[in-house]
Amino acid sequence: MKIKPTLLTLALSLIGVISLPSLAADNITAPNQVLILKPRLEQLIQTALTTDLGRDQLLIKSQAMRETSIAAASLPDPKLKIGFSGLPTNSFAFNQDPMTTISIGASQQFGRGSTLPLQQQKIQQQADTVLDQADVRALTVTQNMTQLWLELGYQQQLQQILRQNLTLMKQLVSSIRINYAIGKSPSQDLLQGQLQVSKIEEQLQANQQRQQTIMAQLSEWLGSRWLTQNTIIDATNTLHWQKLMQLMGQLSNPSERYQLLRHNPMVTAAETAISAQTTQIAISEQAYKPQFGVDLMYGARQASNMAGQPVADVVSAFVTMDLPLFTSNRQNRNRNAAKYQEQAAKLQRDLLLQQMNAKLDALLATRTQQQQRLNQYQTVLIKQAQERTKAVERGYKNGTSRFDDVINASRDELDLATAQARLTTDLSLTDNNLAYLLNSYDYQPHLTTFTANLSQQLGTR
């Protein structure tokens, strides 16, 4: 009989022959004239950032703190005083006693030293910290979207492999059915082939379920409305990582590595928090300086003097000053507390860098092992599986191998093709985590644009 069970070779060839979908966005029109969108990864990330409520919340919070900083640098409102003094109780007349005055005045308190501008500086630094947290949120959104894209690309590639194997297996079963009808193949071969077809169909159903799960997870970042749109995502399980590859050579130098890690917005936020605590120390030192105030008072008098002439009005002016004489339990303690807070912020930054460096070491070690394993698949395992397939095929044609051997060889080669695709995806996921730590995604969001849009929506002045 002439049967060509070349399932393994054809299935494996999908890894090298089927080209990965392009990242370019295409818009296609179905026969019923419905526009179907095919977005790129960058477009999905842009949409996710635009609709991300968590990031918008941080941007609005930062803007609110900047408004607060302006208010914190302003002098307190002046106080107006209106009253009278020296009013005789026997007549309650304003013109009886020359000492009776009707007074109006104002008082103004000034800031202690440079406290007000320093408070404004501190709040602005805290606003910068929140803005850095918005950068962290944007980086997290980019990481999650990229991860889902790669996982979806793997599932779509696996679906293509399974479909190709299903088509070939059905052709094989059809040939066995013909040979069985003329008595050249046993019924066991036909049943085994049908069982293999059913298994592949079940794998395709499971694959479709996983793709739908990933699409649902994308709705967390893209919003639920996009699921109802005519959107087709042709994802990939590999990316170029151009910016990341340019930095890989610098990771062997410890000083350069830490410098690269400082580009992560998490570290930037920690640095800004340290600056805010340093400003707090300067604020605490202003408490050793006196605080001044001014009181002005104008008094009008209605009485006359002994000569019968109207007495002159009076003006009073005072300068108030508090004296920080007892500083041991207040000013000293506040300054010490501010210094401790600064040191704690520095330790928090150093701990963050230490943790990030450890993660970087682990990712680099994992990446090296993945590359070595992938090379093993490409140079050894795949070739061995192909040679075994050819040998089993020849043996089956010559009657020295059973059909079970053909099925097992087909299953092994399919498993190797799947494992290679999975390992390729895992390598891309490792690069994704590296890009997150080093803030080296090829796509970078623009925070200032979004901040301006949010200001327009809030109607700030």
pLDDT at 147 over 80: yes
The mean pLDDT value for 214-225 works out to: 85
Say how far apart CA 342 and CA 64 lie, in whole Å: 24
Give the pLDDT confidence score for residue 59 in this predicted structure: 92
Q: Among 381, 442, 39, 15, which residue's Cα sits nearest to residue 232? A: 39
Question: Which of residues 90 and 202 earns the better pLDDT score?
Answer: 202
Q: Among 346, 283, 297, 348, which residue's Cα sits nearest to residue 112? A: 283
pLDDT at 307 over 90: no
Task: Look up residue 57 and give its two tokens.
Answer: 């919340």
Say how far apart CA 21 and CA 205 lie, in whole Å: 22
Say how far apart CA 220 and CA 20 lie, in whole Å: 26
Looking at the DSSP bridge assignments, the partners of residue 106 are 80, 296
Q: Which domains does the chain have, with CATH numbers?
A: 7-72+121-289+327-458 (1.20.1600.10), 76-109+290-323 (no CATH)
The amino acid at residue 197 is: V
Task: Look up residue 383 and give its two tokens.
Answer: 């070739």
Give the pLDDT confidence score for residue 64 in this predicted structure: 94
DSSP-derived pairing of the beta strands 26-29 and 35-38 = antiparallel
Give the pLDDT confidence score for residue 12 in this predicted structure: 33
Say how far apart CA 30 and CA 37 lie, in whole Å: 11
pLDDT at 53 over 80: yes
What is the pLDDT confidence band of residue 144, given thresholds at 50, 70 and 90? Answer: very high
Handedness of CA 98, 100, 105, 107 (dihedral sign): positive
- For 63, half-sphere exposure in the C-beta direction (CA atoms, 13 angstrom radius) is 20
DSSP codes, 66-119: HHHHHHHTSPPPPEEEEEEE---TTT--TTS-TT-EEEEEEEEE--STTHHHHH
Using one digit for the tens of pLDDT, what is the confidence trace for 395-416?
877 877 787 888 888 888 888 9
pLDDT at 378 over 70: yes
Looking at the DSSP bridge assignments, the partners of residue 446 are none
For tokens 């062997």, the residue is 252
Decide: helix, strand or coil at residue 445: coil
Q: Among 406, 416, 272, which residue's Cα sits nearest to residue 346? A: 272
Using one digit for the tens of pLDDT, what is the confidence trace for 96-133?
888 888 999 999 999 888 999 999 999 999 999 999 99
What is the pLDDT confidence band of residue 456, given thresholds at 50, 70 and 90? Answer: low
Task: Look up residue 306 and give its two tokens.
Answer: 């002994």
